[in-house]
Amino acid sequence: MSEELESMKRRFRCPNETKKELVVEVLSGYRTEIVARKHGMSPRTLSQWVRQYQDEVGDLMKKKQNDAEKMKQNAANFKELEKKYNDAMKLLGEKELENSILRDLVKKKYPDWK
């Protein structure tokens, strides 16, 4: 009977760094139950890890916050570049249309011109 209970219990094993990353997710504001289910583990186990590692994850939290800030800046830069690209493409299209019109006018006036 005890063998059956042992086989029913499944231990969630992972490296300490992974445990700390999950703790950072929880401490960043995500609910323990959500993070645990997302990673296929017991919320109780994750809660224990949070109590165990919460004092050790300060550097990891700072790194995640810096990464998030960089991502926001990159997104803002991307939006700005995308706008500039679209403006340039619009101008290029206008210039191509203008050249085509001028080419047609030249051909009408000078039919032998290449």
Segment 33-45 shows an average pLDDT of 92
- For residue 114, what pLDDT is reported? 65
Provide the whole-model pTM: 0.47
pLDDT in tens, 10-28: 666 788 888 888 998 898 8
Give residue 25's pLDDT. Answer: 87
Q: CA nearest 46: which of 58, 64, 31, 61? A: 31
Mean pLDDT over each residue of the chain, to the nearest integer: 86
